[in-house]
Amino acid sequence: MLWSEMERLGRVFDPWSEFERMNRTLRRFALPSTVEFPAINMWVSENNAVVTTEVPGIDPNALEISVVKDSLTLRGSRQDEELKEGESYHRRERWSGQFTKTLELPFPVDAGKVEARFAKGVLFISLPRAEADKPRKIVVKSEQA
Amino acid sequence: MTEAAGEMQKKEAETPETGERTRASRIYAPQVDIIERKDDIVIIADMPGVDEKSVDITLEKNVLTIYGRVDAYAPENHRNFLSEYGIGDYQRVFTLSDEVDRDKIQATVKNGVLKLVMPKAETIKTRKIPIKAEGIGGVLNYS
């Protein structure tokens, strides 16, 4: 009896597990601290998904969007500012280089109907759900005997 | 995937403007490059969601403030499924040195990137002080 009691107390006051628990709770409310570039937001309705991502300054024609069933891949790049003789960076925080990101969609989409728009450095992609994947309502006929 | 673009997360602006905000959105600090060229200094800031109509640049004394308004976007009749980045306004404040010619600052916005070109003041450009060698005779007299 006593031991089990101690054990229970020990668990309650273990500062480390308490810390872990708090950490887990907090993590659920915060945005992920590191995500693969570029960061994505997605909205979903029954028959459509909308993906947005912030890729300012890229050449939209060089952006590659490919869709296979329920996976979406974004590929693009952004060049550094080219410096001439006598020019120098005082600060350099902006990203440059190539990126590739693949994400899983909640359902297979109709690749032929995917639409993308690039405005103010934000990419919007609309992905309609594949016809074959849409839930179907089966009408029950009553037999007239 | 390059390292530069590997892990990027929007940073919230450290010093929100004085007073309370009336807009219920976050403020982020845009990432910037600052380049010094022969005749000017260029600030390039990533502000996705901002265009020339929604960016304010103010210069008060020597404090340059960049502010970009972003309207939250959410498609109708959709529910949020994944949120890897936050949406909000942008603000960043710079202290300019005297070498900038305030009246000639130019700003453009393209594809969510703000570019500020700040020409250096004429007086600074020509402020090269020539150093003359003193005549040897004079020096000898005093030694």
Neighbours of B3 (CB within 10 A): 8
Per the structure, the count of domains in chain A is 2
Residues A5 and A59 grouped into a single domain = no
Q: Tell me the percentage of chain A whose pLDDT exceeds 70.
A: 82
Asked whether residue A20 falls in the same domain as residue A75, the answer is: no
Q: What pLDDT, on the 0 to 100 scale, is given for residue A67? A: 95
**Candidates B46, B79, B92, partner chain A, best to mutate (most A CBs within 10 A):** B46
Please name the amino acid found at residue B97: S
CA separation for the pair B12, B43 (Å, rounded): 19
Look at residue A88 and tell me if it is in a domain. no
When pLDDT is averaged across residues B104-109 and rounded to a whole number, the result is 94
Is the CB of B137 inside 8 Å of chain A's CB atoms?
no
Query: At residue B22, does pLDDT exceed 60?
Result: yes
CA separation for the pair A66, A76 (Å, rounded) = 12
- Cβ–Cβ below 8 Å for B51 and A83: no
| pTM exceeds 0.80, yes or no | no
3 state DSSP class of A41: strand
Q: A57 and A26 in one domain? A: no
**A76 and A121, same domain (yes or no):** yes
Taking the alpha carbons at both ends of chain A, their separation in whole angstroms is 72
- A104 — contact with chain B (CB < 8 Å)? no
Give the chain B residue nearest A92 (alpha carbons): B33
Question: Which residues span the domain enclosing A4?
Answer: 1-30
C-alpha to C-alpha distance for B30 and B44, rounded to whole angstroms: 9
How far is the C-alpha of B90 from the C-alpha of A83, rounded, in Å?
Answer: 27
DSSP string, B56-118: EEEEETTEEEEEE-------TT-EEEEESS--EEEEEEEEPPTTB-GGG-EEEEETTEEEEEE
CATH number of B11-75+82-123: 2.60.40.790
How many Å apart are CA B71 and CA B87, to the nearest integer? 8
Q: A24 and A42 share a domain?
A: no
Q: What is the pLDDT of residues A100-119, one digit of tens each?
A: 999 999 999 999 999 999 99
